[in-house]
Amino acid sequence: MNTVPLIGICRHRLVSDGQGVTTLVAFHDCPLRCKYCLNMQCLQADGVWKQMSVQEIQDEVMVDNLYFQATGGGVTFGGGEPLLRSREIAVFCQLCPAEWHIYMETSLNVPLQAVEAVAPFIDHYYIDVKDMNPDIYHRYTSRDNRHVLENLSWLASHDYCQKVTIRLPYIPDYNTGEDREKSREVLMAMGFQDFDCFDYITPNHPCASVLSDHCTSEG
């Protein structure tokens, strides 16, 4: 039985990601090396909470089925980078009740095939693009954003913009408010309309907390 590494499963979440009551399934591993990473355990060999099969994950979250059904909630996949486990997520989505809503928290910095594998099942994406400027992105994550741009273009061209919330952080020492506005302009030109603009407020701490302010294209 194949298993995947998790850093945790968090139950009974409200409003933070999606409607109703949700359960966060957080995967180990990430392609990025963000300077203010919120979940450093996802990069550490000893950061694995459990190794679980898709069926075991299904059984674990099924205990909250009544909450999901009653509130219109479901499961949020995060991490780490959940799209590194796109095949397992696709299998999970084919097994779970059709009434569950499925949410994805992702950096989108994965090959396009990973996005294509799960696209039919995802009700909403929360995409943290960091910054659309390639130089800023690389300085902050130590990676390039080529995959991010390709995947955003694919989502836009397949009419998924209404299923996407773009997270745009102000990252002290890496970008500015003007940089963030330029990123939003680029994304709006691609067709995206829903943005979550937030600031890192403890930038020198590896577990930086954030202050969020949800905004739309008119905000």
Q: What pLDDT digit, counting tens, does each position of 72-107 carry?
A: 999 999 999 999 999 999 999 999 999 999 999 999
Structural domains for the chain? 4-216 (3.20.20.70)
Taking residues 134-150, what's their average pLDDT? 98
Give the tens place of pLDDT for each residue, 15-58. 778 889 999 999 999 999 999 998 899 999 999 999 999 999 99
pTM above the 0.85 mark? yes
**Two tokens, residue 187:** 């994304």
Strands 21-27 and 4-14: antiparallel
DSSP 151-170: HHHHHHHTT-GGGEEEEEEE
**Two tokens, residue 215:** 């905004």
163-173 burial: b if 16+ Cβ within 10 Å, else e: ebbbbbbbbee
